[in-house]
Amino acid sequence: MEARLRAGERLTDLPDASDAQLYFIGRIRTPWARREDCPRQGRLDGSDCRIEIFEPWHAALEGVGAYAHLEILYWLDRARRDLVRQNPKGDGTRYFGTFALRSPQRPNPIGTSQVRLVSVEPGALVVRGLDCLDGTPLIDIKPDRCEFTPKAPAKPAGR
Ligand code: SAM
């Protein structure tokens, strides 16, 4: 369900969508069913969350366990997409343009979080540091930019 509009907030008419052909590569299981229960930003010592990867992409997890931290991108599927001016506290005092905020309400509601990798399971990761609702679609997983050094896997013997 879309977030309610607050006094003084401004909407725009959305143009026709162009299709970026995103694949939702998994689903994020978190303890939070309601927006008001979610952290505003995840914390590395926060609750365990489980990132379930859909079958065609299980093989893409190879090597992920080498990193202590990952960057997770997700689609904030219950956000409204037509807000250009927002009143984050809902108190009618301070207003910001959408691009001056990390609010979930934005034309392309992509959320990003740096997380701590707790464990790797077959087809799933357990992490800490997320702030999204249970069932949020997963867009991508990347090694944390501070830790990333590309390491090719060892060549199999005889090649
Ligand atoms: N860490 C991300 C970022 O900075 O890009 C997201 C930050 S956003 C402020 C996090 C908030 O979005 C949560 O506290 C919750 O209110 C809301 N939210 C979480 N999951 C959502 C979803 N699937 N759809 C819409 N809103 C969501």
Closest CA to ligand 1's atom 12: 104
- Domain locations in the chain? 22-143
Ligand 1 contact, 46 CB (< 6 A): no
Q: Please choose, from the candidates 139, 14, 142, the residue with its C-alpha nearest in 3D space to the C-alpha of residue 69.
A: 142
Q: Which helix (DSSP H) or strand (DSSP E) does residue 137 occupy?
A: strand 136-143
Question: How many helices (H) and strands (E) would you count in the chain?
Answer: 0, 9
- The pLDDT assigned to 122 comes to 96
What does 56-69 look like in DSSP terms, one character per residue?
A: GGGGGGTTGGG-SE
Ligand 1 contact, 114 CB (< 6 A): no
Q: What is the pLDDT of residues 88-98, one digit of tens each?
A: 998 889 999 99
In CATH, what is the architecture of 22-143?
A: Beta Barrel (2.40)
Give CA–CA dist 125/65, Å, rounded. 9
Ligand 1 contact, 131 CB (< 6 A): yes
Which residue from 133, 136, 140 has its CB within 8 A of the most atoms of ligand 1, so it is best to mutate? 133
Give the mean model confidence (pLDDT) for residues 112-131: 98
Residue 115 is classified by DSSP as E
b/e sequence 121-148, b meaning 16+ C-beta within 10 Å: eeebbbbbbbbbbbebbbbebebeeeee
82-86, 92-96, 108-112, range with the lowest pLDDT: 92-96
Q: Which residues pair with 89 in a beta bridge?
A: none
